[in-house]
Amino acid sequence: MSGIWGNNIKVSIFGESHGHGVGIVIDGLPGGIKLDMDYIKYEMDRRKPGKSKLTTSRKEADEVKILSGYFNGKTTGTPLCAFIENTNTRSRDYSKTKDLMRPGHADYTGYMKYNQSNDYRGGGHFSGRLTAPLVFAGSIAKQILEKNNILIGSHISSIYTQVDETFDYVNCNEELVKNLRLEEFPLIDKSKADSMKDIILRAKEEGNSVGGIVETIILNVETGIGSPFFSSIESRISSMMFSIPAIKGIEFGEGFNMAKMKGNESNDEYCIKDGEIRTYTNNNGGILGGISNGMPIVFKCAIKPTPSISMEQRTINIESKEETSLSIEGRHDPCIVPRAIPVIEAGVALTLLDMIIEKKGLEWIN
Ligand SMILES: Cc1cc2nc3c(=O)[nH]c(=O)nc-3n(C[C@H](O)[C@H](O)[C@H](O)COP(=O)(O)O)c2cc1C
Ligand SMILES: C=C(O[C@@H]1CC(C(=O)O)=C[C@@H](OP(=O)(O)O)[C@H]1O)C(=O)O
């Protein structure tokens, strides 16, 4: 089933943006894991909509109700089901787009795939809202990884044409990675914040939207996680990232830049540092043959501009099969990038946890 993901920790996501709510069932977690609810709330708040002018104005508390699998502050080991209510739907915004297919959104493909029965309100099951339960599951995975010293951090690598610095792929500072999680608009070079925010607000004023790139680093992953062929770290992370709405590209390490290098430039030469086998450079992003090599795992995700814009665009009426035009009203993120960051981190945390359990078993968790 398309809504189910994972080998050892299996997750199943359900819900629609304008239905009762959205949620997730997590199967495979062992019993006895203490959950830090403040940590979960913090991650949910990082993603929730309606926080500033830079985001959609739809306000949701995104409070998680745990329906099963949790007792006396610990997981029970049986399926953990979490539900997040939709409290601020405004479905009239979508009466116009019932028949007018929004360019760049999933209205047309959803209509065709589901026998014209898709819930088009708010994008239904295709909405970015479905990433709220993913953040819940990922915040459990992140807690488990952090207890084992595995740190995940991300920053805004670019918004439209404005670019931040990149992580140091070899000697990335742990404090920097930890602190990024505390920032609403995480950047390495904080002096770029104003110009990036201006770009987003200007696009919004024009009835338009912008996209950008998120760079993520994972520190302290031991050597030997991942396996060829289809369980390579790149393929597993990519399958998760491309499940997140609006992510349209991914590269690991120097990725596409490597195509412009020669072998002697792209190879990461080996060295011994503090008794450990390391590499001088990390163009391969910590992965060789699909397996972690002990260097930081680094990847970038390209996020497209938000499809729903008020600027007039050409489209079709799916009922009458006529060409027409459309100006979308409603509450939309002028840029998805800042809110996608906790989602990307949650997705990669789940992926890594699933892959580590593959190698080390469930005992590793407790
Ligand atoms: C956190 C988040 C928020 C989003 N907010 C919006 C939004 O406000 N308006 C919109 O049209 N699309 C938004 N999207 C993107 C659409 O859901 C997505 O583009 C659409 O489902 C089509 O999928 P695709 O872009 O992966 O092809 C958001 C995505 C995410 C992850
Ligand atoms: C509700 C969320 O974001 C929504 C994602 C979204 C989309 O098309 O993806 C469209 C908008 O929905 P609505 O028109 O109902 O306000 C966003 O507000 C959320 O992320 O929790």
Domain edges within the chain: 4-365
Atom of ligand 2 at shortest range from CA of 93:
14
Out of 54, 90, 306, mutate this one to test ligand 1's pocket (max ligand atoms within 8 Å of CB): namely 306
Looking at residue 49, its amino acid is: P
The 3-state DSSP class for residue 262 equals coil
- Written out in words, the top-level CATH class of the domain with range 4-365 is alpha beta
Q: Is the CB of 331 under 6 A from ligand 2?
A: yes
Give the pLDDT score at 3. 82
Gap between the Cα atoms of 336 and 200, Å rounded: 10
Calculate what percentage of the chain has a pLDDT beyond 90. Answer: 98
Give the pLDDT score at 237. 98
Cβ neighbours of residue 27 closer than 8 Å, sequence gap 6 or more: 9, 10, 11, 12, 79, 80
Q: What pLDDT band is residue 27 in, cutting at 50, 70 and 90?
A: very high
Gap between the Cα atoms of 265 and 251, Å rounded: 18
CB atoms within 10 A of CB 138: 30
**Residue range 146-175: mean pLDDT, rounded:** 98
First CA to last CA across the chain, in angstroms?
30
Is pLDDT above 80 for 238? yes
Instruction: Note if the pTM is more than 0.90.
Output: yes
Is pLDDT above 60 for 206? yes
Give the pLDDT score at 96. 86
Helix axes 131-147, 37-47, angle to 10 degrees: 140
Q: Is the CB of 122 under 6 A from ligand 2?
A: yes
Tokens found for residue 202:
């200007």
Which residues are annotated as part of the binding site for NADP(+)?
A: 47, 53
Out of 98, 105, 129, 337, mutate this one to test ligand 2's pocket (max ligand atoms within 8 Å of CB): namely 129
Q: Which is nearest to 309 in space by CA: 323, 329, 324, 325?
A: 329
- Residue bearing the CA closest to ligand 1, atom 27: 246
Q: How far is CA 325 from the centre of its chain?
A: 32
- Complex ipTM over 0.95: yes
The 3-state DSSP class for residue 279 equals strand
